[in-house]
Amino acid sequence: MNLFQFCYGLIHWLVDLINNIWYWLGDHLPWWFGNFFTDVGDFARSHAHIAVMAILLEVLIIIIIALINVLNFIWLDRKFMGRMFDFYGPYYVGYRIGGWLQNLADGIKLFVKEIITPAKADRIGFFLGPVIFVGSSFAALVTIPLGWDFYIGTNSGPTVPGVYPGVPASLLIAFMFFAIAPFSILISGWSSNNKYTLIGGMRSAAQMMSYEIPMLLCVASVVLLAGSFSFHGVVAAQHDIWFAIPLFIGFIVFMVCLVAEVEIQPFDLPEAEAELVEGWTTEYCGMRFGLFMMTSYLRGYIGGALAVALFLGGWQGPGFIPDPIWFLTKAYIVFIIVEWMRWSVPRVRVDQILNIGWKRLLPLAMLNLLVAATLKVWGVF
């Protein structure tokens, strides 16, 4: 049973339950209601309605899982940073669960703060920036499966060999949504009408330009080996060996690009707090800033999930652990390694980051593609 079937069954059961009362009402209310009750009840029981509701429920489940993971990630980040830095990290709020409730407390604090739009800011752009940033990042969650049976989709299991469950080109869609965010950063940086945010936005655009290409070349090598644009296909192709082993160069390049894409410490030039105050988020306050903050961790979560699905065998592991838990465990480990790096190295400079991108990562990504093509031609995969 996959997630869709589960949701479909749940909605169906719920509709039947309500319909019992609904039809009873239709039978006992005055005649001038006509067939209204029967028509509505029949519509509610129809396959189309239940399927749509089931998809909405699926999306809700995936988003809730993602948000809980984001809270975990922020907590883990602060706790891990604290241990690295010789202090405890969050501690008092939620004492018995290791200070986990600190994030919720911070969120409530941000909620009650006033949202200020600067007088000289471009109001539409200033509002659209966070909307696009948050929206595109959540949209990237849509096609990432957490397990063989745990994904947003309507079809169930492979019916024809070579056809995988879920959206056929799920990988492309995920990367498409993932790559939208820098535009929103540019929009919000420019519309804030502030020199720091403008420089931050321009840096973000430059950074995205130089790191999107090697990243997608690494993805191309994975797709080449797996022979499928679907996450399910890529993970299924890693049944015998993780792609991180034959495509070792690609894995390293992908991780570096990922860190640059989610703007984590050595490459967090757009929000370099030393010289640009808070970078492109300088003028944002209250919950808008909170959304930016939360979404940057959400992007960390998506990045970890992408790295796991593409290179680290996805949800495949010892069978006794459920797929999603295995998948998320790997994503957490990837995230912790990224955070480890984040808190221990300085930030690179803008010309250096472009040099790394164009002079080092791009040739390495090409080399990696060559390795993948060679392996494919030899028939290893």
Partner 1 sequence: MAEMWINMGPQHPMTHGLWNLRIKVDGETIVDAEPEVGYLHRGIEKICENRTYTQVIPISDRLCYGSSMSWSHLYCLTVEDLMGIEVPERAEYIRVAVLEMQRIASHLMWLAAYAADLGAMIGFIYTMRDREIWIDLLQALTGSRITYNYPRIGGVAHDLPANWDRDALRACDYMDKKLKEYEDLFDGSKVFMMRNEGVGILKKEDALNLGVTGPPLRASGVKYDLRKDQPYSVYPEIDFQPCYHTDRDCYARYKVRMDEMAMSCHIIRQAIKKMPKGKWRVVAPRNGPVGTGLGRVEDPRGEGMMYLVGDGTDRPYRLKIRSPIFVTVSAAPKMLIGYKVADVVAIMGGLDMCIGETDR
Q: Which residues bind partner 1 (CB under 8 A)?
A: 81, 84-87, 195-196, 199, 203, 265-266, 268-269, 272-277, 343-352
Q: How far is the CB of 122 from partner 1 (least distance, A)?
A: 18
Residue (140 or 348) nearer to partner 1, CB: 348
The CA R_g of the chain, rounded to the nearest whole Å, is: 24
Q: Do residues 32 and 112 touch, judged by C-beta distance below 8 A? A: no
Distance in Å, CB of 341 to partner 1, minimum: 10
CB of 174 or CB of 361, closer to partner 1? 361
When the beta carbons of 59 and 198 are compared against partner 1, the nearer one is 198
With beta carbons less than 8 A apart as the criterion, state whether 296 and 279 touch. Answer: no
Q: How far apart are CA 351 and CA 207, in angstroms?
A: 10
CA distance 368 to 218: 7
Report the nearest approach of partner 1 to the CB of residue 82 (Å).
10
Minimum distance between the CB of residue 276 and partner 1, rounded to whole angstroms? 8
Q: Are 44 and 15 in contact (CB under 8 A)?
A: yes
Give whichever of 27 and 351 is closer to partner 1, judged by the CB atom: 351
How far apart are CB 145 and partner 1 at their closest, in Å? 35
Residues sharing a CB contact under 8 Å with residue 266, sequence separation 6 or more, in sequence order: 259, 341, 342, 345, 346, 347, 348
Q: How many CB atoms lie within 10 A of CB 352?
A: 12
In whole angstroms, give the CA distance from residue 214 to residue 206: 14
Is residue 108 classed exposed, middle or buried when 0-12, 13-18 and 19+ CB atoms within 10 A define those classes?
Answer: exposed
Residue type, 327: F
Least distance in Å: CB of 231 to partner 1? 33
CA atoms within 13 A on the CB side of 120: 4
**Cβ closest to partner 1, residue 269 vs residue 309:** 269
Between the alpha carbon of residue 274 and those of residues 231, 261, 277, 328, the distances in Å are: 39, 20, 6, 33
Comparing CB distances to partner 1, the nearer of 86 and 114 is 86
Which residue number, 44 or 277, has a Cβ lying nearer to partner 1? 277
Nearer to partner 1, 205 or 236 (CB): 205
**To the nearest whole angstrom, how small is the minimum distance from the Cβ of residue 297 to partner 1?**
17
- What's the Cα-to-Cα distance from 93 to each of 89, 97, 98, rounded to whole Å? 11, 9, 8
Closest approach of partner 1 to the CB of residue 346, in Å: 4
- Other CB atoms within a 10 A radius of the CB of residue 223 amount to 20
